[in-house]
Structure 1
């Protein structure tokens, strides 16, 4: 799915289909909405026009688009330029990894060991019937994000 498709889907889901998006990340001018539109579903932002800093426009978008600016911190794997360094442990995501009982978020700790364009990831999948973890060689993440290292305890 593309960013543009997601934006369009969210607008349609709340009952409005904008003719276009004059602003980034799904925002449209508030005055384009019908007068009886349910504003509880929207988030708002003030935008100052570049050519006239005294003029502001109220923009709005569906609340479910919060985080679309950076895809909630996820990096889509599309080329060799946006994969982690080899061996760096990251959080990976794949819709194929979603399991209602054992992995409802579709996220796994994993690391990249390949050389682009060959994708080779190491990630473990829980096999309940064997009560064990197994390296999943069938599926690979579609997105990844760095693991944020926090300071160790002081005492």
Structure 2
């Protein structure tokens, strides 16, 4: 799923009405609302609001962290890793159902690339470097 598809999915049935008022990170100048069976308009409660230059903007909760994809970076054929320990997102099919797990992966200086499996059943999609601790235990 792309960033744009995630934003569209979060807005659901409201997308067509609001798409011209939604920015690249999913913020809109209009509150999410829906029309009830009684014909009245009701507001959704599952959204964030924020003040931007004196204007209140709204966004569904589902889009929290979309600015930086929660700190994850996409793996592609040009991705080169610096030495260190990483979390890698692994997608695979288990009994016909797509599943995703995080696995730890160590990259040393001699192998800075991360290679995909050729079997097409497993795919590595994103990575996040695990930071080294800045302080050691005191006792």
Q: TM-score, normalised by structure 2?
A: 0.71
The alignment status of 1:92 with 2:88, answered yes or no, reads yes
The alignment status of 1:142 with 2:113, answered yes or no, reads no
The equivalent residue for 1:37 is 43
Residues 1-155 of structure 1 mapped to structure 2, 5 A cutoff: 1-12=1-12, 15-17=13-15, 18-30=18-30, 33=33, 35-38=41-44, 40-48=45-53, 56-80=54-78, 82-85=79-82, 87-96=83-92, 106-112=101-107, 113=111, 115=113, 119-120=114-115, 139-150=122-133, 151-155=135-139
More helix by share: 1
Q: Which runs of 5+ in 2 are unaligned?
A: 35-40
Count of residue correspondences = 122
User: Do the aligned partners of 1:45 and 1:58 also contact (CA within 8 Å) in 2?
Assistant: yes
RMSD over aligned CA atoms reads: 2.9
More strand by share: 2
- Shift >6 Å, 4+ stretches: none
User: Do the aligned partners of 1:45 and 1:59 also contact (CA within 8 Å) in 2?
Assistant: yes
User: Do the aligned partners of 1:114 and 1:120 also contact (CA within 8 Å) in 2?
Assistant: no
Q: TM-score, normalised by structure 1?
A: 0.65
SS of the counterpart of 1:144? strand
User: Do the aligned partners of 1:98 and 1:106 also contact (CA within 8 Å) in 2?
Assistant: no
User: Do the aligned partners of 1:47 and 1:57 also contact (CA within 8 Å) in 2?
Assistant: yes
Tell me the distance in 1 between the aligned counterparts of 2:42 and 2:26.
20
